[in-house]
């Protein structure tokens, strides 16, 4: 089992912001303009995405267990986390 990586909340929120922006762009490419801007997103939603980022950082090989739209969001978040790891 991999060792958990500790990321600072500010780092995690920065990654979560990128995930949110990419997901928002994806939704808009499909004609869905309901996603709020990052600045308008409630802190509870930001914290939930931060937890998801931490999950992907610590377990990059795990597969999303959710379905449908949430699964797409999971894949986007995982992709952003993995891409940032390549930098």
pLDDT per residue as tens digits for the range 21-64: 988 998 898 899 999 999 999 998 888 888 888 877 777 777 66
pLDDT of 1 reads 46
Q: Give the SS3 label for residue 28.
A: helix
Q: In terms of residue numbers, what domain contains 79?
A: 9-85
- 56, exposed or middle or buried, with CB in 10 Å at 0-12, 13-18, 19+? buried
Domain count, the chain: 1
- Say what the pTM is: 0.69
Q: Is the pLDDT of residue 87 over 60?
A: no
Which tops the pLDDT comparison, 19 or 83?
Answer: 19
Domain membership flag for residue 19? yes
pLDDT bin (cut points 50, 70, 90) of residue 66 is low
């Amino acid at each position: 089992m991999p060792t958990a990586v500790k990321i600072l909340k500010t780092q995690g929120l920065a990654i979560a912001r990128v995930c949110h922006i990419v997901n928002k762009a994806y939704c808009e490419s499909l004609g869905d303009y309901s996603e709020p801007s990052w600045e308008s997103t409630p802190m509870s939603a930001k914290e939930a995405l931060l937890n998801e980022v931490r999950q992907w950082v610590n377990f990059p090989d795990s597969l999303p267990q959710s379905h449908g739209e949430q699964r797409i969001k999971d894949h986007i978040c995982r992709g952003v986390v993995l891409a940032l790891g390549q930098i």
